[in-house]
Amino acid sequence: MSRNLYILAASLFLFALISGGMALVPSSFQPGLPANGTLWRTIAIFLLLCALIAALIGMLSNLFEQVDRRSEQARQERRRRRRGNRDF
C-alpha cells in the first residue's frame, strides 16, 4: 500500500511543478486557461501540500507494516524456542 502512496505523492509533486511553471508563463501563451499567476501558485502549493501528506502517510504505513512484520517474526521465534525446549 505504501508504494501506491509514493506513486500518488510523486504524481502530485509533478503536477505541482507543472502548475508552478505555469505561473511563470505569460498569459499570452495560455489561451483559454486561467491567466492569473496567483491562481497557478495557489494550485501548486495545494498540490505540493497534498504530495507531502501522501508521502508522509506512505512512510508511516511502511513503518507500521515493518513493525508488525518484525513483531510477528519475534513471536514465531519465541514460539519455536518454547516448542524446542519441550521436546527435550
What is the rounded CA–CA span in Å between residue 82 and residue 74? Answer: 12
The confidence score (pLDDT) of residue 12 equals: 96
CA distances, 54 to each of 2, 6, 8, 10, 60 (Å) = 9, 7, 7, 9, 10
CA–CA gap between residue 39 and residue 37 (Å, rounded): 5
Q: What residue numbers bound the domain in which 54 lies?
A: 2-87
Number of domains in the chain: 1
End-to-end CA distance of the chain: 43
- What three-state secondary structure class fits 30? coil
Write the pLDDT tens digit of every residue in 4-57.
999 999 999 999 999 999 888 877 766 766 667 788 899 999 999 999 999 999
